[in-house]
Structure 1
Amino acid sequence: MAPLTLNTGTLQPLGDRLLVKVATKEEKTVGGIFLPDTAQEKPQVGEVTAVGPGTRNDKGTRVALEVKAGDKVLYSKYAGTEVKIDGVDYLLLAERDILAIVE
């Protein structure tokens, strides 16, 4: 499935979802060999740019996400929905797809 392409504007994730700006792919090896798109590793690191309001617990109280905008995160390799905003690659992920916050 091709990534969804959006124009300028605000994208506000819902529930426990978050928007992550994908880190750029390595296009060249350490030895200087250029890699075609098919040989490049899919990035698993990015920066959170927007977060949803969180989920509700059994009592109906909103539970905020542990991740916040500006955090650098490590996420599951094949998680999320790819979106392109103004030519920049993003992933729309659920909080459970985040493996760690990178300090």
Structure 2
Amino acid sequence: MAENVKATPLHDRVIVKPEPATEKTAGGIIIPDTAKEKPQRGLVVAVGPGKKDEPVTVKKGDQVLYGKYSGTEFQYDGQQLLIMRESDILAII
């Protein structure tokens, strides 16, 4: 599970597990993989210590909203995760 990530991001970086993209529309039409939008919501699974004089405000377990093209995708234990700066996070929801 991504909740057990043992990696610790540096400085103000945050590791986020993106929410899966929607498979169907409200009307029941199945969306093909090529037409799916990138998710913009996710769960924070690891947080760095922050910069000097700037503590990190998000914490592990927070549900967040981030920019469509924010972060860098990487694989960890078979899970697709994102690593991004805290400033790329738009809101805690």
Please report the TM-score for the alignment, with normalisation by the length of structure 1.
0.80
In structure 1, the gaps of 5 or more residues are: 1-7, 58-62
- Identity score, percent: 53
SS of 1:50's partner is strand
Distance 1:30 1:88, change over 3 A: same
**Separation of aligned partners in 1, 2:77 and 2:31:** 25
* Contact persistence 2:17–2:45 (CA under 8 A): yes
* Matched residue type, 1:35: I
- The residue aligned with 1:25 is 21
- The residue aligned with 2:11 is 15
Q: Residue 84 of structure 2 is aligned with which of 87, 93, 101?
A: 93
Please report the TM-score for the alignment, with normalisation by the length of structure 2.
0.88
In structure 2, the gaps of 5 or more residues are: none
After superposition, the CA RMSD in angstroms is 1.5
Q: How many residues are matched?
A: 90
Query: Once superposed, which parts of structure 1, at least 4 consecutive aligned residues long, lie more than 3 Å away?
Result: none
- The residue aligned with 2:59 is 68
- The residue aligned with 2:32 is 36
In terms of fraction of residues, the more strand-rich structure is: 1
CA shift for structure 1 position 38: 1.5
